[in-house]
């Protein structure tokens, strides 16, 4: 059976990414629990020459964590970008501590449709805890992301067309959170039904999507009126949005149990 990863990632590239991940395991004495593609390829609007953003969560042997200087130990593995492959990962403790804060990067990683490695129950058990996602933090995060990209790239007469997607995705993610009170999916296509009643907007977005997927890089061009108007209307609306305060839901016990389980599983 052909997997989603194999359809989206050329086989030779996937094999090279897997080789580098196995090298990282051997070099650092770790075991990768989850490895995924993140960024534009996972979001569903990559160009032909987009980088491969491979991200992974790893675990050390149990003894590594039984140390007086644990907090001083490095909890990331990073490599320079080579041949358009950007490869780095987080230690499981770092990942779970950030998960407790609804860190958007980790939330997206565990939902990525493009999976290179999934070992044991780590990823599945994390997904089962997505009900603890802070919708308030999510709204503030995606609103800030949309505002930053809009102000940085889309206010000129000529704009980098690809940046529209870096504003639209977070805006639609806010809409998802408002509608469903859950963490938004990372695939752009799964968000588009939220604006299905805006025919001109959907047509303009679809045209840009097709152009981005065909072209090596989208250059500067005049603003797209239908998309620009929607973005400005949404940003104005969100400027006055004050999300309801949530009751604090702690998942510390569940995350501690998951960490201990993964340590025993790796023994």
pLDDT band at 248 (very low <50, low <70, confident <90, very high): low
Report if pTM > 0.85. yes
pLDDT tens digits, residue range 181-232? Answer: 999 999 999 999 999 999 999 999 999 998 888 877 778 899 999 999 999 9
pLDDT tens per residue, range 9-33: 999 999 999 999 999 999 999 999 9
Q: Give the Cα separation of 89 and 32 in Å (integer).
A: 9
Domain ranges of the chain: 4-132+249-266, 135-239
Residue 246: per-residue pLDDT: 62
147-170 pLDDT, tens per residue? 999 999 999 999 999 999 999 999
221 forms beta bridges with 159
Q: Is the pLDDT of residue 1 over 70?
A: no
What is the sign, positive or negative, of the torsion defined by CA atoms of 99, 105, 111, 116?
negative
CA distance 72 to 226: 51
Beta-carbon contacts of 12 under 8 Å, excluding residues fewer than 6 positions away, are: none
Which DSSP string corresponds to 33-54?
Answer: EEEEEETHHHHT---TT--EEE
Helix and strand numbers (H, E) in the chain are: 12, 7
Question: Which bin fits 143, alpha (ψ -120 to 50), beta or left (φ > 0)?
Answer: alpha
Q: Was domain 4-132+249-266 assigned CATH 3.30.460?
A: yes
Strands 115-118 and 31-38: what pairing?
Answer: antiparallel
Residue 88 CA to residue 1 CA, distance in Å, equals 28
Which tokens sit at 108? 């997206």
Residue 247 pLDDT level (bands cut at 50, 70, 90): low
200-213 residues labelled b (16+ CB within 10 A) or e (exposed): ebeebbeebbeebe
d(CA 244, CA 56): 33
């Amino acid at each position: 059976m052909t997997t989603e990863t194999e359809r989206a990632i050329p086989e030779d590239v996937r094999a090279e990414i897997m080789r580098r991940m196995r090298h990282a395991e051997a070099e650092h004495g770790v075991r990768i629990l989850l490895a995924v593609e993140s960024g534009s390829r996972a979001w569903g609007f990559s160009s032909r020459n987009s980088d491969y953003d491979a991200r992974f969560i790893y675990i050390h042997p149990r003894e590594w964590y039984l140390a007086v200087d644990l907090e001083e130990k490095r909890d990331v593995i990073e490599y320079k970008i080579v041949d358009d492959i950007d490869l780095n990962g987080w230690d499981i403790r770092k990942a779970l501590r950030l998960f407790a804060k609804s860190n958007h990067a980790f939330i997206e990683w565990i939902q990525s449709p493009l999976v290179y490695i999934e070992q044991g129950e780590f990823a599945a058990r994390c997904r089962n805890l997505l009900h603890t996602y802070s919708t308030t933090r999510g709204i503030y995060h995606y609103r800030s992301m949309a505002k930053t990209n809009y102000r940085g790239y889309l206010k000129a007469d000529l704009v980098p067309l690809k940046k529209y997607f870096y504003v639209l995705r977070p805006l639609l993610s806010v809409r998802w959170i408002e509608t469903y009170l859950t963490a938004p999916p990372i695939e752009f296509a799964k968000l588009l039904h939220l604006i299905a009643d805006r025919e001109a907007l959907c047509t303009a977005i679809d045209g840009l999507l097709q152009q981005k997927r065909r072209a090596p890089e989208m250059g500067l061009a005049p603003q797209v009126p239908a998309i620009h108007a929607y973005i400005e209307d949404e940003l104005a609306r969100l400027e006055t949005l004050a999300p309801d305060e949530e009751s604090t839901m702690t998942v510390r016990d569940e995350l501690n149990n998951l960490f201990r389980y993964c340590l025993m599983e790796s023994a």
